[in-house]
Amino acid sequence: MRVLAYGDVLDLALELVAAGREISDNVVLLVAGDQEEKIQGLKGPNEVLLCKDVKSDDQESLVELITSIAQDFDAILLPNDRRGRELVGVIAHKIGGSSTTDVSSLRLENGVLVIERITLGGKAIAVEELSLPAVMTIQKGRFKPLEDIEPEVREIQAPKIERRIEVLEKKEKPRVGVPLDKAEIVVAVGRGFKKKEDLKLAYELAEILGGVVGATRPLAADLKWMEEEVWIGISGVRVAPKVLVVVGASGQQQFSAGIMDSKIVVAVNNDSSAPIFEHADYGVVMDLYQFLPALIKKLKEAKGA
């Protein structure tokens, strides 16, 4: 059994290497050219394949690169982020393999690859058998990176492709503050907010607490009040803060699946039967327009502001 791991962000890719070691003693890490500087002193994989010709934001070239070397591997592991979910099906189709997403554990049982994954919006864990070759995305934070092997680094060439997509321009989105999935305190907002302008209450609370603001799907994807990067849920970002304050969100399955690893959950909703209270350690049944200003005032007084 040979395993290939690839992730746009090298730190996250090392988690994939650790996942691969659950089923194989031979795990190879593929690294794109724009991550080359980070492989100095890297430990964990048995071998590193460095392709300087391909950049991590060139999806068309990545697909061709991975499929060109896939015949040497039984399993291909990708991160469970937007890029990984875009690549998994395409690569599996090209190599004629099986595919799945949201894998939380994997093992070999009598030579059969068995995986576990979240299903039913986080309500259940599915146990599945995958035929080889298998392509899958691995949940973030499930496997701790290993540092027990100093790998050999080998350069490989990218295959020549006939491009069907022409990139005319690239613009990086502005990033402010700590990324949502790394924040220790998160204030998550939902449809309880009546106007976009009212979100200033959530931002003010997050600033006082030293946290960041996330959103449910309706606010980010439907109403476009916030960037999709702050969309919390099974199809968005999974968060695991020390404290999560959920304000005005009902807590439907799609959202709740993204907060399952939060340490302390505080829910504020005027509907006492809202599903979010099933996941909350502390619940406040009250109109957010009454509760948030009062809470902010008390916190400012406590800080002497």
> Do the beta carbons of residue 222 and residue 235 sit within 8 Å?
no
Residues 116 and 127 sit within 8 Å (Cβ to Cβ):
yes
Helix H or strand E encompassing 19: helix 10-20
Q: Are 263 and 136 in the same domain?
A: no
Q: What is the CA radius of gyration of the chain?
A: 22
User: In angstroms, what CA-CA distances link 227 with 44, 231, 256?
Assistant: 35, 7, 19
Q: How far is CA 105 from the centre of its chain?
A: 16
Range of the domain at 288: 180-303
| 244 and 118 part of one domain | no
As for how many domains the chain has, the answer is: 2
Q: Of 64-73, 136-145, 264-273, where does mean pLDDT reach its minimum?
A: 136-145
Per the domain annotation, does 167 fall within a domain? Answer: no
Domain annotation covers residue 160: no
Instruction: Please indicate, yes or no, if residue 173 is contained in any of the structural domains.
Output: no
Output the domain CATH number for residue 151: 3.40.50.620
| Single residue among 139, 155, 171 that ends a domain in this structure | 155
**CATH at residue 225:** 3.40.50.1220
Rounded to two decimals, the pTM is: 0.75
Residue 99 — φ and ψ, nearest 5°? -150, 155
For residue range 232-250, list pLDDT tens digits in order.
Answer: 987 788 899 999 999 999 9
For 82-86, 142-146, 155-159, 232-236, which range has the lowest pLDDT when averaged over its residues?
A: 232-236
Q: Which of 122, 155, 188 is the last residue of a domain?
A: 155
Residues 287 and 189 in one domain: yes
Domain boundary among 98, 120, 155: 155
Residues 205 and 86 in one domain: no
Residue 7 and residue 162: Cα distance in Å, rounded? Answer: 24
For 152-210, write each residue's pLDDT tens digit.
999 999 888 887 777 788 777 666 567 888 899 999 999 999 999 999 999 999 999 99
On whether both 222 and 138 belong to a single domain, the answer is: no
